Structure 1
């Protein structure tokens, strides 16, 4: 993220982390089961076959009468100011920034980030209908428990089903503990299974599958204004409109490698990060309540 120009000081170029897990409903999370994980070789818009086919058809059938807008799969982006402020709206200064994006008030309760399971279903397309949402995650969800807690007592309203929006509804495997949730997320991204496939995600976001023919084949092409461009060469009449699009819909990171896949992570490095670390993380099921090898006892 740092090498690609992402910074916590710029909401439109905020650090981006992947959805690693696909299981936010089970009572126990098995980090040794591949079914617990998202397919990191595919962008969020291609996590289901039906959704992937819809975006492929959009790209193949794209026509622009002006000839100025090239074909794209996604009109929204995986990281933007709105996405960042949505995930972190319970913390300052993101609460204030979220309200600024919503004309001085919080968004409608039914549109606020309130449940990890629902957010995954929305972003992955598992809802059964396409909303255009392809968002990835922010790094805070991997280490900051306060990101999912309404510690400031914000009045976020009531959803149409009568649920009051307060703390984020966590997966059952976190047992209601924001600390345990963040630790499980961190264990998941450092796990051997994720480590084997994470380079494929890096290729999509930072590497050779970000643009060009490889991006098209991977269903990974976004609206053209999200990629780096020299606004000084843009027609003055279009300058303001393009700048507004960039500010509202986010930017794709700088591409760091162009002609080859990212190297795989060494197994030795992965196993080293999985060793218990006092005060930070532990593989003990007593700490994480993560079922390994089909049983809940400490291994």
Structure 2
């Protein structure tokens, strides 16, 4: 079996790595700043490496599940990055699978430059929640050539319920940004709608009695309102900082494509304002409280 490398043992990555290991693949992992995930993986048979270069030198397929574009670039092209390790070991068959939500322009640029070293980069950003990462039921939204996808498919299948091939390298990250734009757009709309409603005497409970079960209901709506109505912070664990990052990437992509994207900019700016006031580590449904507080309201 190919040796799998993994970098990015956060909320999503830890579950993915565990499912790869459970399927019997040799796993080498780079520690997250929180050591609990790496210690748990080591107890189950994974090996810890000291730096990303070791992943490039010792692994056949390396998965990245890091915060965003700067972290992807650093872990690949840093002094002790994956490329440096692969070069030192003269690895010509390495595949890097970027599961992060990154910038498509960077993805395509890295893929082109890595190819000169015999390294293949594909993008496979995630659809789903940390709970689905734990249970192996995520979606992988893949940008890759057919042949490369078939090579990595058996490993992807250890942690997915659905693999969606959306096009060549970079297409996965593009589609992921579009998906997250829809989700974060709904989050912004829900937050403002609740505040407007509260000002007009409509409680969150009344709001929910109309929307739940209607055509506007959705999985995103239900986890968002699980927080709004039940104060369950764990219902939707996606930070406002990540929401700002993703909407910023989408707005930048629109600009690069010469698309006038006023809605995208407005959504981005709302999340940017929440992060700038120190609320970046709060979760997306808590935006409802932030917007309400700006109007001297409490929703619950």
Structure 2 length as normaliser, TM-score? 0.24
If each structure's helix is expressed as a fraction of its own residues, which one has the higher value?
2
Structure 1 length as normaliser, TM-score? 0.24
The one of the two structures with greater contact order (alpha-carbon pairs below 8 A, sep at least 6) is 1
